[in-house]
Amino acid sequence: MKLVKESLNEIMHFERSDNPLVTLQVGKRVQIIKWLDIYEVTNYVINDDFTIDVISDVNLANKNLTKFPDFIKFNHISGYFDCYNNQLTSLVGCPSSVGGDFVCYNNKVQFTEEDVKKLSKVKNSIYV
């Protein structure tokens, strides 16, 4: 009986959305994989919380990005993270930590070093 009660409790407290697939998080991992494949991000791990660790560099330069989709949230990048020469208006979705350089100049918004530091711990240099 306890198992049924716990299951009902979980069902009653899940996050609702207009999109039932989002509500149930069905396909979220598939969405992330497709996006990473399109943008040629490799050597990654999708964590249980759907954040993304990359065991190499991430080069998203010159991809005409305006923002990262809601389902993309980078966590740790062991190498560099490049998102320059895009149309980004926000850094939401960028990694929490970067083992190399963080490069985000020449976007629609002129980001500052402080903008980057609010979101990400960068081991090497920040280029804005």
Domain count of the fold of the chain = 1
Would you list the DSSP string of 6-47?
HHHHHHHTSPP-SSHHHHTTTTHHHHHHHHHHHTT--SEEE-
User: Whole domain around residue 72: which residue ranges?
Assistant: 2-127
The residue with greater pLDDT, 24 or 124, is: 124
Give phi and psi for 12, each to the nearest 5.
-75, -20
CA 33/CA 86 separation, integer angstroms: 21
* Predicted confidence band of residue 112 (pLDDT cuts 50, 70, 90): very high
pLDDT tens for 74-96 read 999 999 999 999 999 999 999 99
What's the whole-model pTM score? Answer: 0.79
Residue-averaged pLDDT of the chain? 88
